[in-house]
Amino acid sequence: MKHWWYVPLALVTLAVGVWVTNPPALRANGEDKHEIEEVGHAHVPAPLEYADLLMPPSVWTDQAMIARGKEIYAANCAVCHGEHGDGKGPAGQALPLKPSDFRDRHAVAEMRDNYWFWRASEGGTVEPFKSRGSAMPPWKGTLSVEDRWAVIAYQHTFSGHQGPHVPWEHPEMVQMGRDIYRMACVPCHGLDGRGDGSVGPTLSPNRAPQPRDFTAGLFKLRSTPTGELPTTADLFRTVTEGIRSRGGPLTLGLSGYRIMPSFRHMPEEQRLELVEYVKSLNQEFWARQDVKTVPVPAPPPETPERIARGRQLYADAECWTCHGRSGRGDGPSAPTLKDQNDFPITATDLTEPSRFKNGKTPQDVYRTVMTGLTGTPMPSYEGALESEDAWDVVYYVLSLSPHANRSRHAGGDEGPQTPQ
């Protein structure tokens, strides 16, 4: 056969032609086809405004809630997520971002409850889902909080898991945060978060502050009323800013008089993952139904009259007994102060705002005055001081620093920049 090689040549040409002319099909909006095979779940932390919206553990197994969720699911979700939760509903088939398959127990185990609630509330209107072409509607305007909990509880049943969907049932939820914790936090806070790491106690031998025991539920730096657990944003702020202090010889390596380093350099997503792990060490975070914070109103203008009133309030409230007449932390009670573990604790030197543990902006100091520092002798003045009075005290305290006006008006030096 004279031209036998024509046939293989034609086949090769055909194959090359198909390969060249059939690149990933382009969408009208420029996305290539490979990207459209993704499913709707991504392991990303819920943003701070959703981070404290944890589902009460009892909801997951509450048959009435599950039945209520089933009805809502059938009416609103099944068309995309499928009657059996497999993500194969008729409307979901052609979506660029495939609806989540709730039968995938590994993927479901990774989904934290606040993430799940965030997804149900905002749908595909938020990143990273928006950029990936999610068509999921936001349900927050249509379904009440309880309705969303109910439908999530029903969706959870598809995974086959019988108990509550919480980190102590599914450690996968906080795996990333735990890995970060083990690399960054164990030396001070210990493997189990009990504040018993090998390095921490040496920073301030036999004195407060000692590394936090996350399992005990006593958190100093909060925006919540005294004795309550902090918000996720509070924990995030502490991780971001670190904790400033009078320091000591062993804290010289930590910049800015910090006794806990700042993790500002860590990507925000990782800090959020870390905080989610820290929360998982204390089940009480899931027991609270409503997270209330002590409001920090907009600061009024600083005036000499306000500072003078603050000076009087400082005297009347006997702040001087600990902090001293001149605010240097040398009041008559200062040598006797102890924390909740009976460790001696120093009264804060108010002339050094850059070393305030809870931040040095007027809002930070206001928050400290009104919430107190749980586990220390510093009480909460919420209820004892009106807001205007508290601002007077704040401005008086900040006036005690010789550099107060200059640093405040210049936007501060290296002190914490607290998001408000």
Partner 1 sequence: MGQAARVYALSIIGVLWLSAVLADEAPISGNLKVVDPAASTLTIETTSQGKTRQVTVEIKPTSRIVRFVRVGTSFEEQRVQLTDMKPGWVVSVTTRHEDGREVAEVVKIIFER
Residues that bind partner 1 (CB under 8 A): 3, 6-7, 9-10, 13-14, 17-18, 21-22, 25-31, 33, 35-36, 74-75, 78-80, 83, 89-91, 94-96, 130-133, 135, 137, 142
Which residues neighbour 394 within 8 Å (Cβ) at sequence distance 6 or greater?
299, 310, 362, 365, 366, 369
Of 96 and 256, CB closest to partner 1: 96
Rounded Cα distance between 364 and 390, Å, is 12
Of 78 and 365, CB closest to partner 1: 78
* CB of residue 396 to partner 1, shortest distance in Å: 49
* CB of residue 8 to partner 1, shortest distance in Å: 10
Which residues neighbour 344 within 8 Å (Cβ) at sequence distance 6 or greater?
206, 207, 208, 337, 338
Rounded Cα distance between 415 and 257, Å, is 10
3-state secondary structure 99-129: CCCCCCHHHHHHCCHHHHHHHHHHHHHCCCC
* CB of residue 116 to partner 1, shortest distance in Å: 19
* CB of residue 61 to partner 1, shortest distance in Å: 24
Of 29 and 206, CB closest to partner 1: 29
Rounded Cα distance between 80 and 53, Å, is 25
Of 17 and 163, CB closest to partner 1: 17
Of 127 and 192, CB closest to partner 1: 127
Q: What is the number of other CB atoms lying within 10 angstroms of the CB of residue 230?
A: 26
* CB of residue 276 to partner 1, shortest distance in Å: 25
Amino acid code (one letter) for 41? H
* CB of residue 90 to partner 1, shortest distance in Å: 5
* CB of residue 161 to partner 1, shortest distance in Å: 23
3-state secondary structure 293-354: CCCCCCCCCCCHHHHHHHHHHHHHCCCHHHHCCCCCCCCCCHHHCECCCCCECCCCCCCCHH
DSSP bridge partners of 344:
338
* CB of residue 11 to partner 1, shortest distance in Å: 8
> Torsion angle, CA of 173/102/233/409, rounded to 10 degrees?
120
* CB of residue 76 to partner 1, shortest distance in Å: 8
Which residues neighbour 415 within 8 Å (Cβ) at sequence distance 6 or greater?
244, 256, 353, 354, 356, 359, 360, 361, 407
Of 16 and 145, CB closest to partner 1: 16
Of 58 and 131, CB closest to partner 1: 131
Of 133 and 300, CB closest to partner 1: 133
Of 56 and 96, CB closest to partner 1: 96
Widest distance between CA atoms in the chain: 113
Pairing state between β 258-260 and 243-244: antiparallel
Q: What is the number of other CB atoms lying within 10 angstroms of the CB of residue 14?
A: 10
